[in-house]
Chains A and B, each alone.
Chain A
Amino acid sequence: LAKTTQPISMDSYEGQEVNITCSHNNIATNDYITWYQQFPSQGPRFIIQGYKTKVTNEVASLFIPADRKSSTLSLPRVSLSDTAVYYCLVGDRMDSSYKLIFGSGTRLLVRP
Protein backbone atom coordinates (compact mmCIF):
# COMPACT_ATOMS: atom_id res chain seq x y z
CA LEU A 1 0.00 0.00 0.00
CA ALA A 2 1.48 3.33 -1.08
CA LYS A 3 2.32 5.62 1.82
CA THR A 4 1.22 9.24 1.55
CA THR A 5 2.76 12.34 3.10
CA GLN A 6 0.89 15.63 3.46
CA PRO A 7 1.56 18.87 5.35
CA ILE A 8 0.01 18.76 8.81
CA SER A 9 -1.63 22.17 8.49
CA MET A 10 -2.07 25.15 6.16
CA ASP A 11 -3.46 28.64 6.60
CA SER A 12 -5.13 30.74 3.95
CA TYR A 13 -7.45 33.72 3.52
CA GLU A 14 -10.83 33.97 1.94
CA GLY A 15 -10.73 34.34 -1.84
CA GLN A 16 -7.28 32.81 -2.24
CA GLU A 17 -6.43 29.66 -4.15
CA VAL A 18 -5.16 26.85 -1.94
CA ASN A 19 -2.92 24.06 -3.15
CA ILE A 20 -2.35 21.02 -0.97
CA THR A 21 0.35 18.63 -2.13
CA CYS A 22 0.50 14.95 -1.30
CA SER A 23 3.63 12.87 -1.78
CA HIS A 24 3.27 9.19 -2.73
CA ASN A 25 6.69 8.07 -3.95
CA ASN A 26 5.90 4.34 -4.13
CA ILE A 27 2.60 4.63 -6.00
CA ALA A 28 1.85 1.49 -8.03
CA THR A 29 0.84 1.32 -11.68
CA ASN A 30 -2.83 0.59 -10.96
CA ASP A 31 -3.23 3.01 -8.05
CA TYR A 32 -5.71 5.87 -8.14
CA ILE A 33 -5.40 9.05 -6.09
CA THR A 34 -8.43 10.17 -4.11
CA TRP A 35 -9.04 13.19 -1.90
CA TYR A 36 -11.57 13.49 0.91
CA GLN A 37 -12.72 16.45 3.02
CA GLN A 38 -13.83 16.20 6.63
CA PHE A 39 -15.62 18.84 8.70
CA PRO A 40 -15.70 18.61 12.51
CA SER A 41 -18.15 16.02 13.84
CA GLN A 42 -18.90 14.69 10.34
CA GLY A 43 -17.73 11.76 8.27
CA PRO A 44 -15.34 12.42 5.37
CA ARG A 45 -16.77 13.44 2.03
CA PHE A 46 -15.33 12.55 -1.38
CA ILE A 47 -13.87 15.49 -3.29
CA ILE A 48 -12.09 14.19 -6.35
CA GLN A 49 -10.27 11.20 -7.82
CA GLY A 50 -7.71 10.89 -10.60
CA TYR A 51 -5.13 8.65 -12.22
CA LYS A 52 -2.95 11.00 -14.26
CA THR A 53 -2.74 14.57 -15.65
CA LYS A 54 -5.53 16.86 -14.50
CA VAL A 55 -9.04 16.27 -13.24
CA THR A 56 -11.52 19.06 -12.52
CA ASN A 57 -14.98 19.07 -11.04
CA GLU A 58 -17.26 21.72 -9.58
CA VAL A 59 -15.38 21.71 -6.28
CA ALA A 60 -11.68 21.29 -6.99
CA SER A 61 -8.94 20.37 -9.41
CA LEU A 62 -6.42 17.57 -9.05
CA PHE A 63 -3.03 17.87 -10.71
CA ILE A 64 -0.94 14.74 -11.17
CA PRO A 65 2.51 14.98 -12.80
CA ALA A 66 3.73 12.41 -15.28
CA ASP A 67 5.72 10.41 -12.70
CA ARG A 68 2.65 10.30 -10.39
CA LYS A 69 4.84 10.47 -7.29
CA SER A 70 2.86 13.41 -5.99
CA SER A 71 -0.47 15.10 -6.52
CA THR A 72 -1.87 18.55 -5.77
CA LEU A 73 -5.41 19.33 -4.72
CA SER A 74 -6.33 22.85 -5.80
CA LEU A 75 -9.23 24.71 -4.18
CA PRO A 76 -10.09 27.91 -6.07
CA ARG A 77 -11.11 31.01 -4.13
CA VAL A 78 -11.60 29.39 -0.73
CA SER A 79 -14.21 30.56 1.73
CA LEU A 80 -14.51 30.17 5.50
CA SER A 81 -16.62 27.05 4.92
CA ASP A 82 -13.62 25.31 3.32
CA THR A 83 -11.96 25.10 6.74
CA ALA A 84 -11.64 21.33 7.18
CA VAL A 85 -9.22 18.43 7.16
CA TYR A 86 -8.20 17.13 3.73
CA TYR A 87 -7.03 13.55 3.21
CA CYS A 88 -5.08 12.10 0.30
CA LEU A 89 -5.52 8.35 -0.33
CA VAL A 90 -3.76 6.13 -2.83
CA GLY A 91 -4.77 2.63 -3.83
CA ASP A 92 -5.80 0.15 -6.50
CA ARG A 93 -9.56 0.31 -6.63
CA MET A 94 -9.67 -3.04 -8.47
CA ASP A 95 -7.88 -4.77 -5.62
CA SER A 96 -10.35 -6.29 -3.16
CA SER A 97 -7.76 -5.96 -0.41
CA TYR A 98 -7.58 -2.19 -0.96
CA LYS A 99 -8.35 -1.03 2.53
CA LEU A 100 -9.14 2.68 2.09
CA ILE A 101 -6.53 3.82 4.60
CA PHE A 102 -6.61 7.43 5.79
CA GLY A 103 -3.48 9.21 6.97
CA SER A 104 -3.36 12.18 9.31
CA GLY A 105 -4.57 14.64 6.68
CA THR A 106 -3.95 18.37 6.22
CA ARG A 107 -5.82 20.74 8.49
CA LEU A 108 -6.76 23.81 6.42
CA LEU A 109 -7.75 27.00 8.22
CA VAL A 110 -9.32 29.75 6.12
CA ARG A 111 -9.24 33.16 7.77
CA PRO A 112 -11.46 36.17 6.99
Chain B
Amino acid sequence: NAGVTQTPKFRVLKTGQSMTLLCAQDMNHEYMYWYRQDPGMGLRLIHYSVGEGTTAKGEVPDGYNVSRLKKQNFLLGLESAAPSQTSVYFCASSYGGAEDTEAFFGQGTRLTVV
Protein backbone atom coordinates (compact mmCIF):
# COMPACT_ATOMS: atom_id res chain seq x y z
CA ASN B 1 0.00 0.00 0.00
CA ALA B 2 1.90 3.05 -1.27
CA GLY B 3 -0.53 5.72 0.00
CA VAL B 4 0.01 9.03 -1.82
CA THR B 5 2.86 9.16 -4.33
CA GLN B 6 4.12 12.34 -6.01
CA THR B 7 6.19 12.45 -9.19
CA PRO B 8 8.79 13.92 -9.58
CA LYS B 9 10.45 14.61 -6.21
CA PHE B 10 12.67 17.41 -7.53
CA ARG B 11 12.60 19.57 -10.64
CA VAL B 12 14.34 22.66 -11.95
CA LEU B 13 12.54 24.66 -14.63
CA LYS B 14 13.47 27.69 -16.66
CA THR B 15 11.09 30.63 -16.66
CA GLY B 16 8.38 30.06 -19.25
CA GLN B 17 8.70 26.29 -19.37
CA SER B 18 5.75 24.05 -18.63
CA MET B 19 5.48 20.91 -16.55
CA THR B 20 2.99 18.55 -14.93
CA LEU B 21 3.16 17.18 -11.41
CA LEU B 22 1.52 13.82 -10.87
CA CYS B 23 -0.20 12.69 -7.70
CA ALA B 24 -1.40 9.11 -7.36
CA GLN B 25 -3.29 7.52 -4.47
CA ASP B 26 -4.21 3.88 -3.98
CA MET B 27 -6.70 4.30 -1.12
CA ASN B 28 -9.82 4.84 -3.27
CA HIS B 29 -10.19 8.35 -1.84
CA GLU B 30 -12.73 10.74 -3.30
CA TYR B 31 -11.06 14.00 -2.32
CA MET B 32 -7.65 15.15 -3.55
CA TYR B 33 -5.77 18.39 -2.95
CA TRP B 34 -2.74 20.29 -4.22
CA TYR B 35 -0.86 22.67 -1.92
CA ARG B 36 2.25 24.80 -2.12
CA GLN B 37 4.47 25.63 0.81
CA ASP B 38 7.01 28.43 0.70
CA PRO B 39 9.94 28.49 3.16
CA GLY B 40 8.83 29.11 6.75
CA MET B 41 5.18 29.39 5.74
CA GLY B 42 2.06 27.27 6.09
CA LEU B 43 0.45 25.29 3.30
CA ARG B 44 -1.71 27.15 0.81
CA LEU B 45 -4.38 25.31 -1.16
CA ILE B 46 -4.03 25.64 -4.94
CA HIS B 47 -6.82 23.44 -6.30
CA TYR B 48 -8.80 20.50 -5.04
CA SER B 49 -11.18 17.81 -6.30
CA VAL B 50 -14.12 16.15 -4.60
CA GLY B 51 -14.39 13.33 -7.13
CA GLU B 52 -13.39 12.02 -10.52
CA GLY B 53 -13.98 14.61 -13.23
CA THR B 54 -14.39 17.51 -10.78
CA THR B 55 -12.00 20.29 -9.81
CA ALA B 56 -12.30 23.50 -7.83
CA LYS B 57 -10.14 26.51 -7.02
CA GLY B 58 -8.43 26.91 -3.69
CA GLU B 59 -6.71 29.91 -2.15
CA VAL B 60 -3.98 30.49 -4.77
CA PRO B 61 -5.11 28.99 -8.11
CA ASP B 62 -3.61 31.53 -10.53
CA GLY B 63 -0.91 30.14 -12.80
CA TYR B 64 -1.96 26.53 -12.24
CA ASN B 65 -4.35 24.09 -13.84
CA VAL B 66 -5.49 20.66 -12.67
CA SER B 67 -7.23 17.60 -13.99
CA ARG B 68 -8.84 14.55 -12.34
CA LEU B 69 -9.56 12.21 -15.24
CA LYS B 70 -9.12 9.13 -13.08
CA LYS B 71 -10.13 8.80 -9.44
CA GLN B 72 -6.68 7.76 -8.35
CA ASN B 73 -4.76 10.54 -10.11
CA PHE B 74 -4.69 14.32 -9.69
CA LEU B 75 -2.47 16.31 -12.04
CA LEU B 76 -1.14 19.81 -11.41
CA GLY B 77 0.06 21.76 -14.44
CA LEU B 78 2.17 24.86 -14.78
CA GLU B 79 1.74 26.25 -18.30
CA SER B 80 4.39 28.97 -18.09
CA ALA B 81 6.53 28.69 -14.98
CA ALA B 82 7.59 31.82 -13.09
CA PRO B 83 10.21 32.25 -10.34
CA SER B 84 7.34 33.04 -7.92
CA GLN B 85 6.22 29.43 -8.33
CA THR B 86 9.40 28.14 -6.74
CA SER B 87 8.07 26.17 -3.80
CA VAL B 88 7.47 22.72 -2.34
CA TYR B 89 4.27 21.19 -3.65
CA PHE B 90 2.26 18.70 -1.62
CA CYS B 91 -0.57 16.50 -2.73
CA ALA B 92 -3.10 15.01 -0.32
CA SER B 93 -6.13 12.76 -0.43
CA SER B 94 -9.00 11.88 1.89
CA TYR B 95 -12.21 9.86 1.92
CA GLY B 96 -14.48 12.88 2.13
CA GLY B 97 -17.95 12.99 3.63
CA ALA B 98 -18.78 11.37 6.95
CA GLU B 99 -15.64 9.21 6.80
CA ASP B 100 -13.33 12.17 6.31
CA THR B 101 -11.35 11.94 9.50
CA GLU B 102 -7.92 12.59 8.04
CA ALA B 103 -6.01 13.53 4.92
CA PHE B 104 -2.91 11.66 3.76
CA PHE B 105 -0.04 13.60 2.24
CA GLY B 106 2.63 12.76 -0.29
CA GLN B 107 6.31 13.35 0.27
CA GLY B 108 6.36 16.60 -1.69
CA THR B 109 7.87 17.91 -4.92
CA ARG B 110 10.56 20.55 -4.63
CA LEU B 111 10.31 22.85 -7.66
CA THR B 112 12.78 25.57 -8.52
CA VAL B 113 12.10 28.01 -11.34
CA VAL B 114 15.16 29.94 -12.53
Contact = CB atoms under 8 A, between A and B. Distances in A.
Interface of A: 34, 36, 41-46, 49, 85, 87, 93-94, 96-105
A100 B42 CA distance: 12
A41 B58 CA distance: 22
Contacts of B27: none
Interface in B6-42: 31, 33, 35, 41-42
B81 interface: no
Contact of B41 (A45, A98, A100, A104): A104
B105 interface: yes
Q: 10 tightest CB-CB pairs across the interface, nearest first?
A: A43-B105, A46-B102, A93-B100, A102-B43, A104-B42, A96-B50, A43-B90, A102-B42, A105-B42, A49-B101
B2 interface: no
Contacts of B96: 93, 96
B94 interface: yes
5 contacts: A34-B101, A45-B105, A49-B101, A96-B96, A99-B59
Contacts of A46: 101-104
A94 B105 contact: no
Given A34-B102, A43-B92, A45-B105, A87 B42 contact: yes
B60 to A, nearest CB: 11
A28 B4 CA distance: 30
Given A46-B101, A100-B94, 14 more contacts: A43-B90, A44-B43, A45-B105, A46-B103, A93-B100, A94-B98, A96-B50, A97-B56, A99-B56, A99-B59, A100-B45, A101-B58, A102-B35, A105-B42
A30 to B, nearest CB: 11
Contact of A93 (B35, B90, B98, B105): B98
